[in-house]
């Protein structure tokens, strides 16, 4: 059944005429998505246009909208803060209603004693962090930054960030959640469903959240998450940011019970040794390899220019030529950012002593220039808040991520040289930014407590230059070949590319995975919870192929 | 039946199939009040292949399978068949510690590996598991983790599945898969190890968290054939502290703070009766011991691991002292009635034999659920009130509160010993158990692990989740051969 005027009117009845639109100008603003040009025909910046966009204000409205999508056989694609091209409709021939959740933007509850907050989908990390910090609490902000939806990262996507080492992945932190299934049923998980509050997301018996919140969530492909409770962590810092400095190089003064370091290692083996010793000694509050995103060859010149209020980015080229910057560039080859927070002064002093001993035993060091006040305070702002997401796009306006397979540090260090060599090779053609083969950024841990992490290769390309876009796409294909040839599974780039592939191509890829059974089970789950196929293929499935 | 016995023998070998009435009787009932029902056979598979064949056979012959991996005594009715003609799948032969990886602090174990068996193996590598409180030595580690039994160190309890990570599972369909990080590799642990995979991420594969569909399932989804489990370093130095109190509510603010700043390893709250049950080797010592102990006791263990362990302990001790002063609670390094070492031994080792919960009167009914800490007093009052109505002495109720999920949730447990030979006492405790459970559920207690009568109480409160779980069950066990009659299946 085609999306009709009647369907539009029924949707309008739910939210009112102000909150629904089929104006092409509006619709194209939803189709215009980061990464689209890498996978769309003719390098288009646009994903398929939705048939309409609707903005519900509450769970009940979402439920009624989803039921209408079932009635009219229209795909339902929720978006909150968005990130990645898969937030948009995926196929030209699939009529898709974009459900924009921006009106559901309330922090519903902060329970300080029991350490959780209940939020709607358009509450962003920065918003909640500012509120909970007033109470001496904090949240894990995911790598995609402070402007992202907490509900999205906890329920629907990956959930890892620089603070996951100490605070946990947002999957770990997810408590009760409210889920409008693709059929329009409202499921409340764990203690919430039994009317006992938000504090537990498990059971009774097996946990319903297991249906849809795996390594990644369903990415908008299996209903809409309308609320969730998130576990909060202790924040031993000030109740308000006393930010200083000049835009964009904001600085957060470092409290007496904090330490902000950039650490470096002589080899990747030594880097892994440092990691394991940090892991065993349970020190650190934020653990992240951030500054490499600008590329190992140009990064130091960029960052020191960036924080200098008298410089602009036009000065980077000159900075690169300076001897001190060149020396620093070499010193920072294998480095990462590490922030420690003590519950007391004596505890931070002990953490410091332990870290010094670790560096002594492994041959690592503190990178002095990055530990000086200006850069350390900048690092403190950047890492605590993750508010500089624009820096991903700094070189020429576009970037993509490749690699990012997660595993133990020993395993990750195995793909680092392959990733570095591959980017040098692909950038040598001149159509990708040549900032150094190592633009590998990543969290100290992708799960709570550490021991599992990944590094993502940040590849900068010019989205306005078709040759550069084509080089970006080719790099992703190359990265898959490189990974497989060296015994690693495909990385994040495979997820990007699949958005532009046909169903058959995706199925073939899923069939080649070591355990395709997982995607057969996901088909059965989809059939059970989405009989009218209202969700899109972001919840990946394999066709039955004669199997029951 | 004879035909079935032969078929089972073909799968696991005739030595490992039993229909001895005495053996079957041990599985027909447990220490709970669920209705007794004798299984037809006990089969003991020795390999994943045999498990897979058993499940395929069960689907073909419509035979209920009841997975059991721990030794007796059992307490919750989950291993007692609810359907006639059942086969107990007894997994104690699959008892290998497959690997211990010190650097990544992971171990891989089969379902028959018990706490009594695993901890000494881990000690050789300087590792240990965070355990439940005084588990039976013959308690299967995997069964304990799958059933989300509370563990003692809340700050390591990053989520409710901790420290369970990846699993190998034979679903009720008979299909085998690996979950979590192991789901991204081939169906061979050796092959995955050789590729460097260490299975520390529990999620997935893909957009489904398969392990979460296995947890709390009482064996109703499939049979787990191995699991990877995260370990902790053994502290090189440790100290134990006690905070005595006359009421539990006077400790709540202090506990909230302690858990929030993640100070301490073991953090548990018990009443004097509970600690007496834990300490007393002989029943006649319990009363005197209870009297000598403070009414309520918060037990806090601190440890120093890896580098500078003494300084780590010292730093924590000083912070703990300051925190206690701030909250006006008394911190003691010892208590009347027990030495510090005696208490530490309880926390670090499996239970003595016979199992400590049975040593006072021979049987013990347990009521446990999850709550936030600030509501625990209400629930304690509910249980005491119901006990008074049933003339059960309040002084014999052991209360144990265990912070979970880094202190966001709390396991509240009530232990009510009784004499199983005294018909009147049994009848009374049965009524008390039922009435107290109803009152607790009405009052907001969350029975996240709904055994026996709790299942109906919980699932009747949440129709949507119940419906969703039934859909899941039809996918992973379409013929309902896995422990039918439990939960909402």
- According to the model, what pLDDT value does residue A2 have? 65
Nearest Cβ partner for A522 among B178, B207, B447: B207
* Other Cβ atoms closer than 10 A to B76: 20
Residues A271 and A368 in one domain: yes
HSE-up of residue B406 (Cα within 13 Å, Cβ side)? 23
Read off the tokens for B118.
């695993």
Which H/E stretch holds residue B458?
A: helix B453-459
Which residues of chain A from 218 to 237 reach within 8 Å of chain B, CB to CB?
218-219, 221-222, 231, 234, 236
- According to the model, what pLDDT value does residue A241 have? 85
Please report whether residue A216 resides in a domain: yes
Interface check A414 vs B, CB under 8 A: yes
Could B408 and A213 be called an inter-chain contact, meaning their C-beta atoms sit closer than 8 Å? no
Which residues of chain A from 86 to 145 reach within 8 Å of chain B, CB to CB?
113-116
CB pairs under 8 A between A and B: 301
| Of residues B281 and A500, more confidently modeled | A500
Residues A212 and A160 in one domain: yes
Alpha-carbon dihedral A227, A229, A233, A234, rounded to 10 degrees: 100
pLDDT tens profile A313-323? 999 999 999 99
Nearest Cβ partner for B200 among A210, A452, A524: A452
Q: How far is B444 from chain A (nearest CA, A)?
A: 5
Chain Cα centroid distance, residue A449: 19
Q: Which range of residues forms the domain containing residue A466?
A: 397-500
CA pair distance B448, B219, nearest whole angstrom: 15
pLDDT tens profile A408-429? 999 999 999 999 999 999 999 9
* Other Cβ atoms closer than 10 A to B341: 9
Nearest Cβ partner for B372 among A199, A407, A521: A199
- According to the model, what pLDDT value does residue A247 have? 87
- According to the model, what pLDDT value does residue B437 have? 98
**Ramachandran sector of residue A386 (left: φ over 0; alpha: ψ -120 to 50; beta: rest):** left
The tally of domains found in chain A comes to 5
Region A189-194: mean pLDDT is 97
CA pair distance B40, B28, nearest whole angstrom: 10
Nearest Cβ partner for B315 among A222, A347, A515: A347
Q: Is 80 exceeded by the pLDDT of residue B181? A: yes
Q: Is 80 exceeded by the pLDDT of residue B1? A: no
- According to the model, what pLDDT value does residue A77 have? 98
Nearest Cβ partner for A406 among B201, B262, B306: B201
Q: How far is B354 from chain A (nearest CA, A)?
A: 29
Q: How far is A429 from chain B (nearest CA, A)?
A: 32
Residues A117 and A91 in one domain: no
Read off the tokens for B217.
């399932």
Residue A1: pLDDT band (50, 70, 90) is low
β B65-68/B87-90 pair status: parallel
Nearest chain A alpha carbon to B316: A347
Nearest Cβ partner for A515 among B178, B306, B322: B178
Which of A185, A199, A204 to probe by mutation at the B interface, max B CB count within 10 Å?
A204
Could A522 and B200 be called an inter-chain contact, meaning their C-beta atoms sit closer than 8 Å? no
Share above pLDDT 70 across residues of chain A, in percent, rounded to a whole number:
99
Residues 6+ apart with CB under 8 A from B362: B417, B418, B419, B420, B421
Q: How far is B187 from chain A (nearest CA, A)?
A: 7
B478 CB neighbours in chain A (<8 A) are: 548
Q: How far is B486 from chain A (nearest CA, A)?
A: 10
Burial (CB < 10 A; 0-12, 13-18, 19+), residue A103, is middle
CA pair distance B211, A171, nearest whole angstrom: 13
Interface check A217 vs B, CB under 8 A: yes
β A456-460/A440-443 pair status: antiparallel
* Other Cβ atoms closer than 10 A to A311: 15
Q: How far is B205 from chain A (nearest CA, A)?
A: 6
Residues A39 and A76 in one domain: yes
Q: What is the mean pLDDT of chain B?
A: 97
Please report whether residue A241 resides in a domain: no
- According to the model, what pLDDT value does residue B204 have? 95
CA pair distance B21, B14, nearest whole angstrom: 16
CA pair distance B6, A501, nearest whole angstrom: 52
Residues A253 and A389 in one domain: yes
- According to the model, what pLDDT value does residue B163 have? 97
Read off the tokens for B376.
């625990």
Please report whether residue A242 resides in a domain: no
Could A234 and B208 be called an inter-chain contact, meaning their C-beta atoms sit closer than 8 Å? no
- According to the model, what pLDDT value does residue B337 have? 84
Chain Cα centroid distance, residue A443: 11
HSE-up of residue A535 (Cα within 13 Å, Cβ side)? 28
What does the DSSP assignment read for B79-131? TS-SSTT-EEEE-TT---EEEEETTTTEEEE-TT-BHHHHHHHHHTTTEE---
Region A497-523: mean pLDDT is 96
- According to the model, what pLDDT value does residue A242 have? 87
Burial (CB < 10 A; 0-12, 13-18, 19+), residue B85, is middle
- According to the model, what pLDDT value does residue A545 have? 76
pLDDT tens profile A50-108? 999 999 999 999 999 999 999 999 999 999 999 999 999 999 999 999 999 999 999 99
Could A210 and B211 be called an inter-chain contact, meaning their C-beta atoms sit closer than 8 Å? yes
A524 CB neighbours in chain B (<8 A) are: 475
Interface check B281 vs A, CB under 8 A: no
pLDDT tens profile A139-149? 999 999 999 99
Q: How far is A40 from chain B (nearest CA, A)?
A: 24
CA pair distance A205, B67, nearest whole angstrom: 16
Which of B172, B188, B208, B489 to probe by mutation at the A interface, max A CB count within 10 Å?
B208
CA pair distance A460, A451, nearest whole angstrom: 29
Which residues of chain A from 310 to 369 reach within 8 Å of chain B, CB to CB?
343-344, 346-347, 350, 353-354, 357-358
Could B177 and A517 be called an inter-chain contact, meaning their C-beta atoms sit closer than 8 Å? yes
Residues 6+ apart with CB under 8 A from A251: A243, A244, A245, A307, A374, A377, A378, A380, A381
Please report whether residue A239 resides in a domain: no
Nearest Cβ partner for B158 among A196, A211, A448: A448
Please report whether residue A244 resides in a domain: no
Please report whether residue A240 resides in a domain: no
A59 CB neighbours in chain B (<8 A) are: none
Q: Is 60 exceeded by the pLDDT of residue B222? A: yes
Read off the tokens for A491.
């990385």
Q: Is 80 exceeded by the pLDDT of residue A116? A: yes
Instruction: Decide which of A84, A100, A116 is a domain's last residue.
Output: A100
Burial (CB < 10 A; 0-12, 13-18, 19+), residue A502, is exposed
CA pair distance B432, A124, nearest whole angstrom: 48
Nearest Cβ partner for B205 among A281, A353, A518: A518
Residue A206: pLDDT band (50, 70, 90) is very high
Contact call for residues A239 and A140 (beta carbons, < 8 A): no
Burial (CB < 10 A; 0-12, 13-18, 19+), residue A368, is exposed
Q: Is 90 exceeded by the pLDDT of residue B129? A: yes
Contact call for residues A239 and A134 (beta carbons, < 8 A): yes
Instruction: Decide which of A195, A211, A234 is a domain's last residue.
Output: A234
Alpha helices in B240-279 (DSSP H): 252-260, 272-279
Residues A95 and A118 in one domain: no
Read off the tokens for B432.
């008390």
Residues A513 and A443 in one domain: no
Residues A422 and A461 in one domain: yes
Nearest Cβ partner for A408 among B200, B214, B462: B200
Residue B336: pLDDT band (50, 70, 90) is confident
User: What's the CATH number where A131 sits?
Assistant: 3.30.465.10
Cite the beta strand spans of B351-469 per DSSP E.
Answer: 363-371, 398-404, 409-418
Q: Is 80 exceeded by the pLDDT of residue A548? A: no
CA pair distance B387, B365, nearest whole angstrom: 13
CA distances B419 to A414, B73, B276, B361, B425, Å, are 61, 16, 18, 5, 7
Nearest chain A alpha carbon to B147: A205
Share above pLDDT 70 across residues of chain B, in percent, rounded to a whole number:
100
Q: Is 70 exceeded by the pLDDT of residue A546? A: no
Domains of chain B (ranges, CATH numbers): 2-90 (3.30.43.10), 97-233 (3.30.465.10), 237-443 (3.40.462.10)
User: What's the CATH number where A41 sits?
Assistant: 3.30.43.10
- According to the model, what pLDDT value does residue A315 have? 96
Residues A521 and A543 in one domain: yes
Please report whether residue A198 resides in a domain: yes
- According to the model, what pLDDT value does residue A547 have? 59
Which of B147, B202, B204, B206 to probe by mutation at the A interface, max A CB count within 10 Å?
B206
pLDDT tens profile A370-416? 999 999 999 999 999 999 888 999 999 999 999 999 999 999 999 99
By three-state DSSP, how is residue A435 classified? coil
β B17-18/B41-43 pair status: antiparallel
Q: How far is A505 from chain B (nearest CA, A)?
A: 17
Region A272-297: mean pLDDT is 97
Task: Return the residue matching tokens 């190089």.
Answer: A249
Instruction: Decide which of A234, A268, A291 is a domain's last residue.
Output: A234
Please report whether residue A354 resides in a domain: yes
- According to the model, what pLDDT value does residue A3 have? 82
Upstream peptide bond of A248 is cis (omega within 30 degrees of 0): yes
Residues A262 and A372 in one domain: yes
Residues A172 and A204 in one domain: yes
Residues A34 and A19 in one domain: yes
Could A529 and B468 be called an inter-chain contact, meaning their C-beta atoms sit closer than 8 Å? yes
Share above pLDDT 90 across residues of chain A, in percent, rounded to a whole number:
96
């Amino acid at each position: 059944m085609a999306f009709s005027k009647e369907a539009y009117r029924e949707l309008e009845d739910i939210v009112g005429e102000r909150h629904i639109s089929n104006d092409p100008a509006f619709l194209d603003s939803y189709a215009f998505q980061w990464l689209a040009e890498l996978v769309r025909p003719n390098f288009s910046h646009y994903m398929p246009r939705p048939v309409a966009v609707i903005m519900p204000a509450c769970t009940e409205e979402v439920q009624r909208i989803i039921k209408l999508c079932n009635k009219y056989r229209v795909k339902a694609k929720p978006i909150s803060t968005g990130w990645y091209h898969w937030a948009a409709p995926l196929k030209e021939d699939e009529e898709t209603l974009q459900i924009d959740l921006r009106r559901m933007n309330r922090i519903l509850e902060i329970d300080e004693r029991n350490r959780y907050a209940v939020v709607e989908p358009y509450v962003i990390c920065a918003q909640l962090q500012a509120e909970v910090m007033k109470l001496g609490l904090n949240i894990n902000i995911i790598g995609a930054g402070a402007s992202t939806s907490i509900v999205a990262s906890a329920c629907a996507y990956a959930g890892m960030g620089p603070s996951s080492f100490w605070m946990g992945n947002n999957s770990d932190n997810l408590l009760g959640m409210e889920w409008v299934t693709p059929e329009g049923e409202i499921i409340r998980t764990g203690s919430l469903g039994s009317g006992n509050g938000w504090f537990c997301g498990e059971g009774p018996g097996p946990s319903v959240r297991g249906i849809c919140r795996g390594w990644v969530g369903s990415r908008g492909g299996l209903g809409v998450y309308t609320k969730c409770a998130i576990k909060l962590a202790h924040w031993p810092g000030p109740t308000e940011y006393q930010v200083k400095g000049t835009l964009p190089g904001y600085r957060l003064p470092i409290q007496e019970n904090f330490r902000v370091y950039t650490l470096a290692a002589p080899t990747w083996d030594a880097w892994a040794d440092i990691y394991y010793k940090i892991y065993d000694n349970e020190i650190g509050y934020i653990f992240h390899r951030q500054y490499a995103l600008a590329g190992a060859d140009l990064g130091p010149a960029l960052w020191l220019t960036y924080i200098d209020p008298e410089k602009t980015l036009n000065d980077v080229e000159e900075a690169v030529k300076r001897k001190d910057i060149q020396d620093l560039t070499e010193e920072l080859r294998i480095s990462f950012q590490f922030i420690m927070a003590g519950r007391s002064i004596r505890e931070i002093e002990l953490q410091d002593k332990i870290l010094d001993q670790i560096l002594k035993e492994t041959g690592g060091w503190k990178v002095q220039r990055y530990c000086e006040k200006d850069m350390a305070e900048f690092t403190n702002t950047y890492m605590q808040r993750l508010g500089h997401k624009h820096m991903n796009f700094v070189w020429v306006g576009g970037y993509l991520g490749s690699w990012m397979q997660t595993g133990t540090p020993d395993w990750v260090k195995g793909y680092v040289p392959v990733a570095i060599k591959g980017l040098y090779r692909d950038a040598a053609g001149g159509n990708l930014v040549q900032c150094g083969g190592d633009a590998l950024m990543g969290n100290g841990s992708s799960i709570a407590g550490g021991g599992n992490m990944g590094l993502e290769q940040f590849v900068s390309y010019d989205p306005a230059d078709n040759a550069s876009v084509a080089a970006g796409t080719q790099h992703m294909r190359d990265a898959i070949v490189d990974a497989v040839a060296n015994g690693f599974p495909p990385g994040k780039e495979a997820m990007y590319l699949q958005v532009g592939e046909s169903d058959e191509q995706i199925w073939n890829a899923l069939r080649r995975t070591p355990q395709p059974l997982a995607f057969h089970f996901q088909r059965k789950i989809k059939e059970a919870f989405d009989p009218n196929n209202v969700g899109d293929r972001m919840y990946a499935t394999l066709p039955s192929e004669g199997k029951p | 039946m004879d035909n079935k016995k032969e078929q089972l023998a073909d799968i696991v070998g005739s030595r490992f199939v039993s229909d001895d009435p005495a053996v079957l009787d041990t599985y027909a009932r447990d220490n709970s009040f669920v209705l007794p029902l004798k299984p037809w056979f006990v089969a003991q598979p020795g390999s994943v292949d045999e498990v897979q064949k058993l499940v395929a056979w069960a689907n073909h012959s419509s035979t209920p399978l009841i997975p059991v991996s721990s030794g007796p005594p059992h307490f919750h009715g989950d291993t007692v068949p609810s359907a006639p003609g059942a086969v107990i799948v007894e997994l104690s032969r699959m008892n290998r510690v497959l690997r211990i990886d010190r650097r990544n602090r992971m171990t891989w174990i089969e379902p028959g590996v018990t706490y009594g068996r695993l901890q000494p193996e881990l000690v050789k590598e300087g590792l240990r598991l965070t355990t439940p409180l005084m588990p039976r030595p013959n308690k299967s580690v995997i069964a304990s983790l799958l059933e989300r039994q509370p563990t003692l160190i809340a700050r390591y309890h990053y989520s409710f599945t901790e420290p369970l990570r990846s699993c190998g599972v034979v679903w009720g369909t008979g299909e085998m898969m690996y979950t979590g990080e192991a789901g991204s590799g081939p169906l061979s642990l050796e092959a995955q190890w050789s590729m460097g995979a260490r299975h520390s991420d529990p999620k997935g594969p893909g957009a489904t968290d398969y392990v979460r569909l296995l947890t709390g399932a009482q064996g109703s989804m499939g049979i787990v054939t191995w699991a990877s489990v995260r370990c902790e370093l053994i502290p090189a130095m440790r100290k134990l502290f006690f905070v005595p109190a006359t009421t539990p509510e006077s400790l709540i603010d202090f506990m909230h703070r302690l858990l929030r700043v993640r100070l301490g390893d073991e953090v548990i709250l018990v009443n004097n009766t509970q600690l007496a049950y834990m300490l007393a080797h002989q029943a006649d010592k319990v009363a005197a011991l209870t009297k000598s102990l403070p009414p309520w006791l918060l037990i806090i263990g601190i440890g120093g691991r890896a580098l500078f362990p003494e300084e780590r302990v010292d730093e924590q001790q000083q912070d703990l002292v300051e925190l206690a002063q701030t909250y006006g609670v008394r911190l003691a390094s010892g208590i009347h009635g027990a030495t510090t070492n005696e208490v530490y031994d309880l926390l670090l080792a499996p239970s003595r034999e016979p199992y400590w919960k049975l040593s006072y009167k021979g049987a013990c009914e347990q009521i446990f659920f999850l709550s936030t800490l600030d509501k625990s007093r209400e629930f304690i009052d509910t249980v005491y009130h119901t006990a008074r109505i049933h003339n059960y002495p309040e002084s014999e109720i052991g209360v144990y509160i265990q912070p979970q999920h880094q202190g966001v949730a709390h396991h509240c447990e009530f232990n009510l010993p009784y004499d199983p030979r005294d018909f009147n006492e049994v009848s009374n405790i049965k009524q008390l158990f039922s009435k107290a459970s109803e009152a607790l559920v009405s009052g907001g207690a969350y029975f996240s692990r709904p055994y026996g009568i709790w299942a109906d109480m919980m699932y009747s409160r949440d129709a949507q989740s119940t419906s969703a779980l039934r859909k899941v069950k039809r996918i992973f066990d379409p013929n309902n051969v896995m422990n039918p009659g439990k939960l909402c299946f």
